[in-house]
């Protein structure tokens, strides 16, 4: 084997750093952009990202260079940074080391975002009177978000943990980049037509540039026009989007959306059990009071000592006691029967039971459900959701049922 010169990672990073240091332009450079992810460290250093529509660069201003900085940077602020571009050897990444920062304004993108917010507010899209109530016990939950990623998994896992009998109708959508607006709007309208009880619209959070590129106005109007309650799940607790103001309920994360949309059936069943126990305790208390009354009457009758009347009243009281006991026992059995029926009804609507029997939910490339051979063509790709995953298949032949 012909061994060639092999360098360590540190050597490569040191060499690249020397190239940056020898470049005069990179050591005396002015860079214009908008501030994002700005963090003031307790040590006095400032870490932030400088962005525009085409890219981003990591920046740091050390505490010793902050003397001339007479304002506090905020999200979306347009600034001009003077400094040098160099390599951080430990991580092998370059960043802008700021020596001076000048404010250029609030930022055009941020101003556009605020303008849209004011426009929709004036049109009444944020008014509370237009918001729909989230159903207390939904049977069908709709989800519009990316097919892959943590958001959909978080929603499914949390929802089914809280209610294993819940039916989840998932409409995969592109949530970032080209076509995201149309994809999310189609998903909202498809779930509305499907008749779900409530839907969660989720997408990844991001900077002002990302929000504007997403064109939130179209999605916000689709949410406002939707006749089904919509829960907004941005994906980052610190982000607030236009959709959050329009939605019927805003949540900080997809997991929180599932928590608020789906009741915990363990608590519901626990409440039913508590009602049963309370009913039994109340009946036992009534029986105890009846026994005490019987004893009290017996003492009075013994004191009056009309033996025949005493025996007659005693017999009647025994009969009353028996009727009360039988009536209370019947009420207990009735309550137990109702509890069993409700439990069976919940189990009967569980989509998981159907999947465990070998059934699958079939959808096309657009996430539309396939229920007929008329809806597919040869060569088309279909997606089969089964109990433990999803299967992608291709239609090779179609056999229609003869009528």
Q: Residue 78 in contact with residue 108, Cβ under 8 Å?
A: yes
- Provide the residue ranges of all domains of the chain, joining segments of one domain with +: 9-106, 111-261, 265-352, 360-394
Annotation: CATH topology of 111-261:
Rossmann fold (3.40.50)
* Residue 55: Cβ-neighbour burial (10 angstroms; 0-12, 13-18, 19+): exposed
Within the chain, which residues score under 50 in pLDDT? 1, 106, 205-213, 236-238
Q: Residue 232 in contact with residue 241, Cβ under 8 Å?
A: yes
Q: What is the dihedral of CA 256, 258, 259, 265, to 10 degrees?
A: -170
pLDDT digits 0-9 by tens, 47-56: 999 998 888 9
What pLDDT is stored for residue 60 in this prediction?
A: 94
User: Which pair of tokens denotes residue 347?
Assistant: 């189990």
What pLDDT is stored for residue 201 in this prediction?
A: 92
111-261 has the same fold as 9-106: no
> Which CATH homologous superfamily contains domain 9-106?
Nucleic acid-binding proteins (2.40.50.140)
Residue by residue, DSSP assigns 338-360 as HHHHHHHHHHHT-HHHHHHTT--
pLDDT digits 0-9 by tens, 354-393: 666 777 888 888 888 888 888 888 888 888 888 788 888 9
């Amino acid at each position: 084997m012909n061994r060639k010169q092999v360098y360590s990672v540190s050597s490569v990073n040191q060499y690249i750093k020397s190239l940056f240091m020898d470049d005069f332009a990179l050591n005396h450079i002015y860079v214009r952009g908008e501030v994002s992810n700005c963090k003031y460290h307790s040590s006095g250093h400032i870490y932030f990202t400088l962005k525009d529509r085409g890219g981003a660069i990591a920046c740091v201003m050390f505490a010793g260079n902050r003397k001339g900085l007479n304002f506090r940077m905020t999200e979306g602020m347009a600034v001009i940074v003077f400094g040098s571009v160099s390599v951080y050897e430990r991580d092998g990444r370059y960043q802008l080391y700021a020596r001076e920062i000048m404010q250029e304004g609030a930022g055009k993108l941020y101003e556009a975002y605020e303008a849209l917010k004011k426009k929709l507010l004036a049109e009444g899209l944020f008014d509370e009177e237009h918001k729909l109530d989230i159903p207390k016990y939904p049977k069908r939950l709709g989800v519009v978000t990316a097919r892959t990623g943590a958001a959909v998994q978080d929603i499914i896992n949390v929802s089914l943990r809280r209610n294993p009998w819940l039916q989840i109708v998932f409409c995969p959508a592109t949530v970032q980049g080209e076509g995201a607006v149309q994809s999310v709007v189609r998903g909202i309208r498809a779930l509305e037509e499907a008749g779900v009880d409530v839907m969660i619209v989720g997408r990844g959070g991001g900077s002002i540039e990302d929000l504007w590129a997403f064109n939130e106005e179209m999605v916000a109007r689709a949410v406002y026009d939707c006749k089904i309650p919509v829960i907004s799940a941005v994906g980052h607790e610190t982000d607030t989007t236009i959709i959050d103001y329009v939605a019927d309920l805003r949540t900080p994360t997809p997991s929180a959306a599932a928590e608020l949309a789906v009741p915990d059936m363990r608590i519901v069943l626990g409440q039913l059990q508590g009602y049963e126990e309370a009913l039994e305790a109340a009946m036992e208390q009534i029986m105890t009071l009846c026994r005490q009354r019987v004893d009290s009457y017996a003492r009075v009758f013994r004191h009056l000592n009309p033996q025949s009347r005493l025996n007659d009243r005693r017999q009647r009281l025994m009969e009353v006691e028996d009727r009360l006991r039988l009536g209370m026992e019947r009420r207990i059995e009735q309550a137990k029967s109702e509890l069993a029926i409700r439990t069976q009804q919940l189990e009967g609507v569980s989509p998981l039971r159907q999947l465990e029997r070998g059934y699958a939910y079939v959808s096309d490339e657009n996430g539309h459900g396939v229920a007929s051979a008329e809806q597919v063509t040869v060569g088309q790709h279909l997606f089969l959701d089964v109990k433990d995953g999803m299967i992608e298949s291709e239609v090779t032949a179609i056999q229609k049922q003869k009528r």
